[in-house]
């Protein structure tokens, strides 16, 4: 477990900042990396993790989600000390499994969805605000909560390999989530980490994507100041959506610094 959640910890000092962690979690074999935003997500992930780390590595890969859950391994939690208003909801078995598999729809996209905002971790207030700001000018906006870019990506790549080997019905969790998104929809991804962590989402079904994130770090300041400077605040998300998708100007968009 670790706490360095990028520039969000800047008020506590530059030494706590880290932008490499999400990509390390994505690439490290044998490691299941998570970055929850809400405490109920964390509870679901911890329940999974306490079992996962004790597995004997002798099982066979599951065809339910195309992950190697039967073999077990290490678990990494990227957390933050930023206070976030919690949402009240029933933790169903379906939601719990989706959190563990890597993502779920916090706001499902409508049939004419023009924009999807996909976020990870501590930037959830900005993602929610951005969806609200653009809702009047972009249709059926979706909000995708990514709790583990690592597991989401691993399931997708494993399902592709399975189809190449003849299992034509193999479908990963992210493919199922994005199955009904129109082809004209644009995806804006945002996290307090390197933008490449979620940039691959556009390749799942061929959607245009604008990844937002942090490529440099070490500065100190307030969270709003640094989010604005690095382009991961609500206004930057709205600006990315406006540039990515056709339609009338988004009335709540402010000029970028």
Taking only the tens place, the pLDDT of each residue in 75-104 is: 999 988 889 999 999 999 999 999 999 999
- What pLDDT tens digit does each residue of the chain (257 aa) get? 555 568 888 777 655 555 557 888 888 888 899 999 999 999 999 999 999 998 876 656 665 666 778 788 889 999 888 899 999 999 999 999 999 999 999 999 999 999 999 999 999 999 999 999 998 889 899 999 999 999 999 999 999 999 999 989 999 999 999 999 999 999 999 999 999 999 999 999 999 999 999 988 777 788 999 999 999 999 999 999 999 988 888 887 776 66
**Quick one: pLDDT at residue 48?**
95
Cβ contacts of 182 within 8 Å, gap of 6 or more: 111, 112, 113
168-211 pLDDT, tens digit each: 999 999 999 999 999 999 999 999 999 999 999 999 999 999 99
Q: How far apart are CA 157 and CA 173, in angstroms?
A: 11
Give the CA distances from residue 254 to residues 34, 192, 226, 251, in Å, rounded to whole numbers and listed in that order.
Answer: 33, 21, 17, 8
Distance CA 256, CA 58 (A): 53
What's the rounded Cα separation, in Å, for the pair 76 and 121?
A: 14
The pair phi, psi for residue 187, each rounded to 5°, is -120, 125
DSSP state of 49: H
Per DSSP (E only), the strands in the chain are 31-34, 74-77, 103-107, 115-120, 142-146, 186-191, 208-212
Report the candidate in 148, 109, 146 with the shortest Cα–Cα distance to residue 131. 109
Phi, psi angles (nearest 5°) of residue 107: -135, 105
């Amino acid at each position: 477990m670790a706490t360095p959640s990028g520039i969000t910890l800047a008020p506590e000092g530059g030494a706590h900042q880290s932008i490499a962690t999400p990509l390390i979690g994505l690439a490290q074999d044998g490691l299941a990396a998570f970055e929850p935003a809400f405490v109920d997500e964390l509870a679901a992930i911890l329940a999974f993790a306490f079992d996962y780390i004790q597995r004997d590595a002798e099982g066979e890969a599951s065809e339910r989600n195309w992950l190697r859950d039967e073999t077990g391994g290490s678990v990494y939690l990227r957390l933050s000390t930023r206070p976030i208003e919690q949402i009240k909801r029933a933790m169903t078995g379906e939601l719990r499994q989706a959190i563990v598999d890597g993502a779920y729809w916090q706001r499902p996209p409508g049939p004419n969805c023009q924009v999807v905002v996909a976020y990870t971790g501590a930037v959830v207030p900005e993602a929610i605000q951005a969806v609200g700001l653009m809702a009047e000018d972009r249709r059926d906006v979706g909000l995708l909560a990514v709790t583990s870019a690592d597991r989401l990506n691993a399931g997708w790549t494993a399902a592709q390999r399975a189809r190449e080997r003849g299992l034509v019905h193999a479908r990963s969790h992210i493919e199922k989530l994005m199955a009904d998104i129109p082809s004209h929809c644009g995806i804006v991804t945002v996290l307090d980490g390197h933008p490449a962590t979620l940039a691959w989402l556009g390749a799942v079904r061929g959607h245009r994507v604008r990844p937002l994130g942090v490529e440099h770090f070490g500065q100190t300041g307030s969270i709003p100041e640094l989010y604005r400077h690095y382009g991961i605040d609500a206004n930057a998300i709205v600006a990315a959506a406006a540039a990515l998708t056709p339609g009338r100007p988004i009335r709540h968009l402010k000029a970028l610094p």
